[in-house]
A and B are shown apart, each in its own frame.
Chain A
Amino acid sequence: MSDWYMLTLIGQDRPGIVAAVTKALFESGCNLGETSMLRLGNNFTIMMMVKSAAGPDALCAVLQPVVDALELILHIDVIAAELHQRPVPDVRILVHGADRAGIVAQVTGQAAAAGLNILDLESDVGGTESQPIYILQIEGVAAQGLDAIEQALAPLRAQGVKVDVLPIDTLIG
């Protein structure tokens, strides 16, 4: 069985959450893999790959004092860990426009049909409350090439959405 777990923690953001969580993990002999912390709409969110020989129940017990003190919600899953096998993105898609329902579904649906494998996606709502704008940034691997994605997304421009499909040329030196 894998010793790796995916920990998901969410809660109201405040200073010191990452420090408290990682201290508890470190002191109980856990190791971190890849992690990603984001604030989403003033909520604290983090997902962490954690290696622990002690099992999920022990992991939960180790974090319980921190979870209670900082009023977090914890979720733990057993995962297969594949470190050192990072795909390199070759396309970046930048989308923005007036906020409306369905932008992400349209963009990702069309792009997936054109061979896009998303490695990284982030979206934000900016602008003002009366005139919100939506900003979507995607990095991925274009299995069928950039032109296929460009063509798949072109119709969205007629709907007033700004769409740029840009190459990512990774330099190895």
Chain B
Amino acid sequence: MAVLDILTYPDERLRHASTPVQRFDAALQARIDDLEETRRAGPGAVGIAAPQVGWFERVVIVNVSGRKKTRSHGHLILVNPEITEWDGFAMGREGCLSVPDYTGNVVRAERIELRAQDRDGNGLAFDMDGFEARAVQHELDHLDGLLFLDRLVSRRQDLFRRKVYK
């Protein structure tokens, strides 16, 4: 396993759209392990997307389970993920391993339905909301060459909503 270099903006490669994973082979497993090790090496990152290390296939890792009062599906390795439903919106503050020293407000869907494959190609389906849903949307943007910078909203717009924990 290895900690890989993170591409940082304005590296144009962060603008590349990634292609679906076709082969669930040993090489894929090794790359996923490297991606996870790189995420862990970063400063408190709850997610990472393959393109951030120059790997342009549709793989992301999300794990918000270490946060207090945060609903979570645990440690997620999502291959070929796809959001199939969006519901509601919420503003939140985001930063990115690929954009050092800047955080900004971004509007995301409050709740999403997500389909993906696991690292062995088995189907996964999730219904998630809040911080975890935000993290997934942030990471999936990377697969389409988008950064949170593309979605910044003015700090002078009051779109914050109080979170309601059911």
User: Can you list, as one digit per residue, whether each of B92-130 has a CB less than 8 Å from chain A (1) or not (0)?
Assistant: 111111001111000000000000000000000000000
> Contact at B160–A166, with CB atoms within 8 Å?
yes
Q: Which of B117-156 contact A (CB under 8 A)?
A: 131, 134-135, 138-139, 155-156
| A84 interfacial by beta-carbon distance below 8 Å | yes
| B11 interfacial by beta-carbon distance below 8 Å | no
Which residues of chain B are near A92, meaning CB under 8 Å? Answer: 160
* Bound-complex Cα distance A89 to B104 (A): 10
Say how far A138's CB is from chain B's closest CB, in angstroms.
12
> Contact at A86–B102, with CB atoms within 8 Å?
yes
Which residues of chain A are near B139, meaning CB under 8 Å? Answer: 173
| B23 interfacial by beta-carbon distance below 8 Å | no
> Contact at B42–A172, with CB atoms within 8 Å?
yes
| B43 interfacial by beta-carbon distance below 8 Å | yes
Contact of B96 among A139, A164, A173 (CB under 8 A): A173
> Contact at A173–B138, with CB atoms within 8 Å?
yes
| A94 interfacial by beta-carbon distance below 8 Å | yes
> Contact at A170–B155, with CB atoms within 8 Å?
no
| A120 interfacial by beta-carbon distance below 8 Å | yes
| B162 interfacial by beta-carbon distance below 8 Å | yes
* Bound-complex Cα distance A126 to B48 (A): 42
Contact of A89 among B42, B93, B97 (CB under 8 A): B93
Q: Which of A127-144 contact B (CB under 8 A)?
A: 137, 139
User: Can you list, as one digit per residue, whether each of A19-54 has a CB less than 8 Å from chain B (1) or not (0)?
Assistant: 000000000000000000000000000000000000
Given contacts A86-B101, A88-B95, A164-B162, contact A171 B138 (CB under 8 A): yes
Given contacts A171-B94, A172-B97, A173-B48, contact A88 B103 (CB under 8 A): yes
| B77 interfacial by beta-carbon distance below 8 Å | no
User: Can you list, as one digit per residue, whether each of A143-173 has a CB less than 8 Å from chain B (1) or not (0)?
Assistant: 0000000000000000000001010111111
Given contacts A84-B101, A120-B155, contact A171 B160 (CB under 8 A): no
Q: Can you sample 9 A-B contacts with CB below 8 Å?
A: A85-B101, A88-B93, A169-B67, A169-B92, A170-B103, A171-B134, A171-B135, A173-B49, A173-B96
Interface residues in chain B, defined as those with a beta carbon under 8 Å from any beta carbon in chain A:
42-49, 62, 67, 92-97, 100-103, 131, 134-135, 138-139, 155-156, 158, 160, 162-163
Known: A84-B100, A120-B155, A172-B97. 7 other contacts (CB 8 A): A86-B101, A166-B160, A169-B93, A170-B95, A171-B134, A172-B96, A173-B49
